[in-house]
Amino acid sequence: PHIIALIVAAGSGSRAGGSTPKQFCKVKGQPMLRHSYAVFSNRPEIESVVLVIGAGQENQAQAAVEGLPAPLLVTGGATRRESVRNGLAAIAQMGGADYVLIHDAARPFLPEQVIDDLLNALLEAPGAVPALPMVDSIARGTDILTETVERENLWRIQTPQAFHFSAIHAAHLGWSGAEPTDDARMLMANGLEVHIVPGDDALTKMTFAKDFSGKDMITSMRSG
């Protein structure tokens, strides 16, 4: 199959603080987005990697992936959904694909096994996501807890999320619901099946400033 990876890295990263967008902050000595970009670029079955970035970030993005196969750069939108949609539109313009793997740059550490499992799952379903079971107790409430939620059959869903290209592209074009937090939800809204493959703690999203500090992680929150 013709497989393309799509990394969205056009967020402002404001929750992480600092003036450098978090996707360009250094994690383990490299700009965050370079980690997952390198993993996808090294996979022989993945033909190209589309990188969705903010307007005016072309030079920063090129520098971040220097020495790796050249990225296809696409400008993102105001929301994650729009950024993904722009990336899918660019792939459609290039002639489409059989499969697309949609990934958050904010999840730099991407295990090969997850990619293997996702691609296998696409032989049986139009969508597949890595997910981990809930281990904490789950409840609803504001300041006071009002309701316990059974954690059985609840999942923490990660990326990459893998799809048959035509199905996810159609789901994006037809979406009119509230702003979704991921793409699997949009496929499900079209009545299509999304399979679960084992997620990985390494895939946890880097969101807040504290995620960037730690023994091996170099924080570079200043500009440049």
Q: Does 88 bind ligand C5P (CB under 6 A)?
A: no
Figure out which of the listed residues 3, 5, 9, 74 binds ligand C5P, where binding follows CB under 6 A. 9
Residue 195's DSSP bridge partners are 128
Q: Does 75 bind ligand C5P (CB under 6 A)?
A: no
Q: Does 39 bind ligand C5P (CB under 6 A)?
A: no
Q: Does 80 bind ligand C5P (CB under 6 A)?
A: yes
Cis peptide before 31 (omega within 30 of 0): no
Nearest distance, CB of residue 157 and ligand C5P, angstroms: 12
Q: Does 130 bind ligand C5P (CB under 6 A)?
A: no
Residues 202-221, interacting with ligand C5P (CB under 6 A)? 205, 207
Residue 44, classified by CB atoms within 10 Å of its CB into exposed (0-12), middle (13-18) or buried (19+), is exposed
Q: Does 23 bind ligand C5P (CB under 6 A)?
A: yes
Residue 130's DSSP bridge partners are 197
Supply angle C-alpha 216, 220, 224, rounded to 5.
145
Backbone φ, ψ for residue 35 (5° rounding): -60, -55
Q: Output the six-digit token pair for 31.
A: 């700009």
Candidates 75-83, 125-133, 145-153, 212-220; binding stretch for ligand C5P (CB under 6 A): 75-83
Tokens 């489409």 belong to 96
Residue 49's DSSP bridge partners are 5
Q: Does 83 bind ligand C5P (CB under 6 A)?
A: yes
Candidates 8-16, 113-121, 149-157, 171-179; binding stretch for ligand C5P (CB under 6 A): 8-16
Residue closest to ligand C5P when measured from CB atoms = 11
Q: Does 76 bind ligand C5P (CB under 6 A)?
A: yes
Q: Does 52 bind ligand C5P (CB under 6 A)?
A: yes
Q: Does 122 bind ligand C5P (CB under 6 A)?
A: no
The whole-angstrom separation of Cα 86 and Cα 8 is 10
Figure out which of the listed residues 106, 110, 115, 131 binds ligand C5P, where binding follows CB under 6 A. 106
Collapsing DSSP to helix, strand or coil, 82 comes out as helix
* Phi-psi category of residue 29: left, alpha or beta, with phi > 0 → left and psi -120 to 50 → alpha: left
List of residues contacting ligand C5P (CB under 6 A): 8-11, 23, 52, 76-80, 83, 104-106, 205, 207
